[in-house]
């Protein structure tokens, strides 16, 4: 029975190896609304925690946000937590953690008591996308001459309070800020980019004519190897069962012989008497 159970277990392992597997990465993602890095004091900020039922948002310095239990709400993709009024000491790095210890991406926001902020995306931009940077005045919405800066260098001036960067790339990363004449200057925010890994993988597959063939060869070799191992396993099982039968038959013959010899000896003694 032990040999049979072991063989069954090995067969199950080989079948598992034979079947293709795909591992799905944990979708621990944090994003905020409004989707920007800078806020005026007393504005509301909502953190969206994708992939979790309850939002445990953490501030790098303050720890878990105490108002989350009161404002936590379910969303189609997870849950959300809202800070109804942010203050300057709410500036800093945020993320969320799950009960299993999984930590999401981090977002750094800046809360200012000034009158001008830069509106830039809170999450990294995919390379090749267009992005619009805005310069917002707290006291008025009228258009004024707006200047934009990158890493301290003046890069644009316009009267629409917006600037568009077409097809962003790694070279567009840096610290951006803006200023509005007569209103003031915004704090600096880091603009980051990232690569679309799915698009990159698709492109690499198209440019490499041997990748698909290599994948097929690997699958064939793995299938053949598994079949050979299963065949060897069946042979071993057969040999073990055959050997066990022979041993049992030999033992039975030996017992039968002993019984016959004992009976014969007893008969001879009776005849002698």
Residue with the larger pLDDT of the pair 225 and 173: 173
- Say what the pTM is: 0.62
Q: For 50-69, what is the mean pLDDT?
A: 91
pLDDT category, 134, cuts 50, 70, 90? very high
How many residues belong to the chain? 273
% of the chain beyond a pLDDT of 70 = 69
Q: What is the pLDDT of residues 161-175, one digit of tens each?
A: 889 999 999 999 999
pLDDT in tens, 78-126: 999 999 999 999 999 999 988 778 899 999 999 999 999 999 999 888 9
- How far, CA to CA in Å, does 230 sit from each of 6, 12, 15, 227, 237? 13, 10, 9, 5, 10
- Mean pLDDT, to the nearest integer, of 126-155? 89
Q: Which residue has the tokens 């993988």?
A: 201
Give residues with Cβ within 8 angstroms of 168, minimum separation 6: 125, 127, 128, 129, 130, 131, 191, 193
């Amino acid at each position: 029975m032990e040999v049979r159970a072991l063989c069954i277990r090995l067969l199950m392992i080989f079948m598992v190896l034979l079947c293709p597997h795909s591992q799905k990465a944990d979708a621990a993602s944090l994003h905020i609304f409004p989707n920007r890095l800078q806020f005026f004091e007393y504005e509301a900020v909502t953190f969206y925690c994708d992939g979790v039922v309850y939002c445990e948002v953490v501030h790098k310095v303050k720890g878990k946000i105490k108002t989350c239990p009161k404002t936590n709400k379910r969303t189609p993709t997870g849950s959300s937590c809202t800070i109804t009024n942010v203050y300057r000491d709410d500036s800093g790095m945020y993320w969320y953690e799950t009960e299993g210890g999984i930590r999401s991406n981090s977002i750094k926001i800046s809360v200012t008591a000034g009158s001008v902020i830069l509106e830039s995306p809170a999450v990294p931009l995919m390379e090749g996308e267009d992005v619009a940077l805005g310069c917002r005045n707290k006291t008025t919405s009228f258009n004024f001459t707006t200047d934009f800066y990158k890493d301290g260098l003046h890069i644009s001036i316009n009267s629409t309070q917006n600037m568009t960067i077409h097809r962003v790339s790694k070279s567009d990363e840096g610290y951006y800020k803006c200023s509005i004449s007569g209103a003031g200057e915004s704090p600096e925010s880091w603009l980051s980019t990232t690569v679309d890994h799915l698009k990159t993988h698709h492109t690499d597959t198209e440019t490499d004519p041997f990748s698909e063939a290599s994948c097929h060869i690997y699958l064939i070799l793995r299938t053949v190897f598994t079949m050979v191992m299963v065949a060897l396993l069946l042979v071993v099982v057969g040999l073990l069962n055959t050997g066990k039968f022979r041993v049992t038959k030999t033992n039975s013959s030996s017992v039968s012989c002993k019984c016959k010899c004992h009976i014969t000896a007893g008969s001879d003694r009776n005849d002698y008497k």
